Structure 1
Amino acid sequence: MIHKIKIVPDNLEINVEDNTDLLTAISKSGLRIRASCGGKGICGKCKVIIKDGKYVTKNTHLLTESEKKRGYVLACQTKVIDNLLVEIPLQYEEVFTPAEKTKRFSERTEEEVFTFCPLVKKIFVKLEKPSLSNTTADFERLVHKLEMSVEIDLDLLYGLEKVLRDANWSVTVTLADYNIYSKIIRIEPGDTTRNNYGIALDIGTTTVAIYLVDLNTGKILDAKVSYNKQIAFGEDVITRMMYAQEENGLDKLNIAIKETINDLIDNVAKEENILLSDIYAIQCAGNTTMTHMFLNIPPHNMRVLKNTLCRRYFNNSKFYLYPHNFV
């Protein structure tokens, strides 16, 4: 059975399944309320007021008799069994600024003290068309023009023939630096070298920050920060580790951090009028617990024994994740 929940004063409406806990329902709406204990009913910070509708809630000493008479409940201890009108008192709502209103960092004024060496570069090439006197294979023809040793994935190689001919043999090749060799990660028709951007990402327990960087010049085009939406499941790493052991807990934490990052990237790309497909590299740093949750790797064993963090790369973009203890 589906129930409708209206949340005020934000005037949001959501539909949830019968017997859903109210904390999860509110989180589904995009709002976040304080829940330091990760929904275990022991911190008393997820207080909301039910103005109308039927519900089931556990009795708790964390609510005064006066609060109970006024309709206060702990969201994490309350089940939805009817359509509800719910009020979230301002003091209990986590201040999550929508992505379109996130704070801008002040522009950097200090002199750069490093040599700019982009993780990804784009090269425009014009290839000689095949002829009876020049029957070199397409990939060999491309490598010869680039004048370097490169690797390419099979899926890109499959499409190389069509891209080259559709573009009349004038293409932009995007190369990712893998230290001892370069790898082709995209081939586009025409000259798109000016559209080459990267993201520097810092995943913190409380906040997440990103910088949008022009990978041709090294210039920081924009920077934004937002609260880490995982706060809804615990304010510190230990609480989140414990929550990750709950059923679907790690998945919820993973979704929350991805939503935070995607909102920031979507917003900064929109403000700078760039395409998401023109972001070719993401470099990420964060404490070990946050990076584990971002990669959907169970982090709870770190409470007992330190683990070494693994790394993963995204399709069509190069993703760098600093090892633990680097931040």
Structure 2
Amino acid sequence: MSTREQTPVQQKVTREIRVIFQPMNRVLTVPTGTPLFAAIGMAGIAIESICGGKGTCGKCRVILTSGTCMAAPETGTSCRLTQKERDEGYYLACQVTLTGDAEFTIPVESRIDSPQILITLPVAPGEIEPAVVRYRVETAPSDGLPFASQSIRFAGYSGPRPRITDEQYHALLAAETSQAATLSTVRSPPTVLAIAPAERVSPLYGVAIDLGTTTVAGCLARLDTGAILATGSTLNRQITYGEELLTRIGYAGSPAGLATLQKAAARSINDVIETLIRTAGIRSTDILDVCIAGNTVMNHLLCGINPRYLELADAPVSRVPIQKTAQEIGLAVHPDAGVYCLPNVSRFVGGDVIGDMITAGMHTSEEVSLLVDLGTNGEIVLGTRHWTASVSCASGPAFEGAGIRAGMRAMKGAIDHVHVDPVTGEICWSTLGSAPARGICGSGIIDLAVVMVQTEALDFAGKLNFRHPRVRTGPEGAEYVLALAPVTGTGRDIMITQQDIDYLMDSKAAACGAIAVLLKRYKCSVAGIRHLYLAGAFGAYADIGNAVRFGILPRFTAATLHSIGNGSLSGAYATLVSTRYRTAAEELARHMVYIDLLVDTAFAEEYAAALYIPGKQELFPPLS
């Protein structure tokens, strides 16, 4: 029998090809057939992507400068490149398969460069009462008893009998010098994490983390004093798989997808931890407790829990805080360190909102307050210490630059504020880092919308006016030109299309309509709100006056405005250094009412009324 007859099925040989990414001069060797989007991730390059590789957002532009590749056929939903761009070699990375050696340029508008991540130093919560405490060990006299019958106790400790390994127990009995035991009460029964000679013990450290959909921020604190020693932040590595929560839920539908997102979340937190320990000069194993505030989807993904059921309206969500060990989820700290996730409330109201409420002090206030956090998702809470009610809405992405053709996250070159010069009448703007304009971020988009209304380029129904000198007809219809190509950092005009305006109007109507539902349900007028708490980047960077003029927020005539910054991180820090705040967090989650707007009949009415600028008259009373 010939050799050919013995091997009738020929094995397909996958050829290795070389890919170069400029201007990073990053070289990568991958098999033929590798998706370009995956190769960019393998090369460690952060690139814009909102749709998670579906080809609909058009943000992951690359330029083929040499070599070959194969692009998927464009459809009506994925055609996000103009003919001119295609002629210049532009591709969407998520729609390209590598077929041979190639060199690509990642253009400036596609790069994630120096993002502005909000970190506000948490306020000390008062009495320090951490979940990890060190106790002096006392060994009872043997009184002639056998070695194994001798006992130990922790001076000053009262509580359930701690769990201790045989190795730790015998080491304590055999010690010739005074010993100290580090005890974690995160779980029941409490666990002895470490033992050491009393004269050589080091401080106890813990980490608080804000696990956001887009960004991750953290702080390192001494557990015995509450002192903050370092802060750090990074982008959430999950953004490669889509910026929207529903996109990530879909990606996590398979075991492999869930594992990928779990590892991405853990690696993102570890990136922050690496910054913290390097700044403070400590070892990662010195960190003995971790508190995490994240939204419901982030908590699920980090802990490896399939989030697919969260797609269902009014899906019941456990309000019991998820607790793991660091080893279970792959965090680079002491392997037995407890990981406490602030409790979730509903599908899209999670531990991050509970952290905001703790920071705002809503759990102790007698006055009616409204908390608004417009991030990638929008969460709103109304109430007092006696009652609280919450809603969530898909409004945040537009206010972070997502879903807008020229939109970008807040990073170098983003137009962050726009105004009309009162003397010349010219449209003026500023950029982050004073760099040439690459696009426009959330705060700039809100300002621009108000400027367009003021200059009559945009009417009260959100329609562009062709009679305005800055409005022209583009490939997608009407568009407003903010900056011409010669003065931009991309060499292309920066404009806002009618489609962008429609998306922005939808987002602002969702936010305002959600607030209106809460006010109506609990019979509160805008004058009845005494405190308005704004959390996150929206509250820190947006012009709140313009947010009211455009109709994102109602005009609360009697409210005191509080910008609480990264309230999620501050709330996580409070629960890190005081178990009393863990109790408060769990009480807040347990008793909060959640209204799912997908099944609430009043929302459709309020949303429709908010599709005008600014909105319903009772929500926007005239200034006296």
Q: Report the TM range for the smaller structure's normalisation.
A: 0.7 to 0.9
Q: Distance in 1 between matches of 2:178 and 2:239?
A: 49
Paired residue for 2:322?
A: 311
Paired residue for 1:204?
A: 212
Kindly tell me: are residues 213 and 203 of structure 1, through their superposed partners in 2, closer, same or farther at Cα, counting changes over 3 Å? same
1:71 Cα deviation (Å)?
Answer: 2.0
Kindly tell me: are residues 106 and 36 of structure 1, through their superposed partners in 2, closer, same or farther at Cα, counting changes over 3 Å? closer
1:186 aligns with 2:194: yes
Amino acid across the alignment from 2:92: L
8 Å CA contact 1:245–1:300 kept in 2: the answer is yes
1:298 aligns with 2:309: no
Q: Distance in 2 between matches of 1:80 and 1:96?
A: 29
Q: Larger Rg: 1 or 2?
A: 2
1:23 Cα deviation (Å)?
Answer: 0.8
Paired residue for 1:91?
A: 109
Query: What are the equivalent positions in structure 2 for 1:230-245 lying under 5 Å apart?
Result: 230-245=238-253
1:3 aligns with 2:17: yes
Number of paired residues? 316
Q: Distance in 2 between matches of 1:137 and 1:39?
A: 62
Query: What are the equivalent positions in structure 2 for 1:47-58 lying under 5 Å apart?
Result: 47-58=61-72
Q: Look up the SS of the partner of 2:275 in the other structure.
A: helix
1:16 Cα deviation (Å)?
Answer: 2.5
Paired residue for 1:161?
A: 170
Match of 1:73 among 91, 107, 111: 91
1:224 Cα deviation (Å)?
Answer: 2.0
Q: Distance in 2 between matches of 1:132 and 1:190?
A: 25
Paired residue for 2:456?
A: none
CA displacement 1:141-180 (0-9 Å, x = unmatched): 3326676453225xx3235425764x53443311012487
Amino acid across the alignment from 2:135: I
Paired residue for 2:222?
A: 214
Paired residue for 2:344?
A: 324
CA displacement 1:207-232 (0-9 Å, x = unmatched): 21111110111111122222222222
Q: Look up the SS of the partner of 2:324 in the other structure.
A: coil
1:114 Cα deviation (Å)?
Answer: 3.0
8 Å CA contact 2:136–2:155 kept in 1: the answer is no
Q: Gaps spanning 5+ residues in structure 1: where?
A: none
1:122 Cα deviation (Å)?
Answer: 1.6
Paired residue for 2:128?
A: 116
CA displacement 1:108-127 (0-9 Å, x = unmatched): 5x6x4532101101224465
8 Å CA contact 1:173–1:186 kept in 2: the answer is yes
Paired residue for 1:258?
A: 266
Kindly tell me: are residues 179 and 16 of structure 1, through their superposed partners in 2, closer, same or farther at Cα, counting changes over 3 Å? closer
8 Å CA contact 1:124–1:192 kept in 2: the answer is no
8 Å CA contact 2:251–2:258 kept in 1: the answer is yes
**Scaled by the length of structure 2, what TM-score is found?**
0.47
1:301 Cα deviation (Å)?
Answer: 1.4
8 Å CA contact 1:150–1:183 kept in 2: the answer is no
1:278 aligns with 2:286: yes
Amino acid across the alignment from 2:295: N
Higher mean Cα deviation, 292-301 or 251-260? 251-260
Kindly tell me: are residues 239 and 40 of structure 1, through their superposed partners in 2, closer, same or farther at Cα, counting changes over 3 Å? same
Match of 1:141 among 145, 151, 158: 151
1:103 Cα deviation (Å)?
Answer: 6.5
Kindly tell me: are residues 124 and 30 of structure 1, through their superposed partners in 2, closer, same or farther at Cα, counting changes over 3 Å? farther
Q: Distance in 1 between matches of 2:269 and 2:306?
A: 20
Kindly tell me: are residues 178 and 281 of structure 1, through their superposed partners in 2, closer, same or farther at Cα, counting changes over 3 Å? closer
8 Å CA contact 1:124–1:193 kept in 2: the answer is no
Q: Distance in 1 between matches of 2:52 and 2:82?
A: 21
1:57 Cα deviation (Å)?
Answer: 1.3
Q: Distance in 1 between matches of 2:138 and 2:220?
A: 30
| Aligned residues: CA RMSD | 2.8
Q: Distance in 1 between matches of 2:24 and 2:258?
A: 28
Amino acid across the alignment from 1:11: N
Higher mean Cα deviation, 140-149 or 240-249? 140-149
Q: Distance in 1 between matches of 2:53 and 2:101?
A: 22
1:55 Cα deviation (Å)?
Answer: 1.7
1:30 Cα deviation (Å)?
Answer: 1.9
1:42 aligns with 2:56: yes
1:245 Cα deviation (Å)?
Answer: 2.7
Amino acid across the alignment from 1:50: L
CA displacement 1:9-51 (0-9 Å, x = unmatched): 1122233333121111111222221221111122211111122
Taking every aligned residue pair, what percent have the same amino acid on both sides?
29
8 Å CA contact 2:135–2:155 kept in 1: the answer is no
8 Å CA contact 2:60–2:94 kept in 1: the answer is yes
1:279 Cα deviation (Å)?
Answer: 0.2
Q: Gaps spanning 5+ residues in structure 2: where?
A: 1-14, 326-334, 346-350, 354-624
1:261 Cα deviation (Å)?
Answer: 0.6
Amino acid across the alignment from 1:321: C
Q: Distance in 1 between matches of 2:203 and 2:193?
A: 15
Q: Look up the SS of the partner of 1:53 in the other structure.
A: strand
Kindly tell me: are residues 192 and 31 of structure 1, through their superposed partners in 2, closer, same or farther at Cα, counting changes over 3 Å? farther
Amino acid across the alignment from 1:48: V
Kindly tell me: are residues 69 and 147 of structure 1, through their superposed partners in 2, closer, same or farther at Cα, counting changes over 3 Å? closer
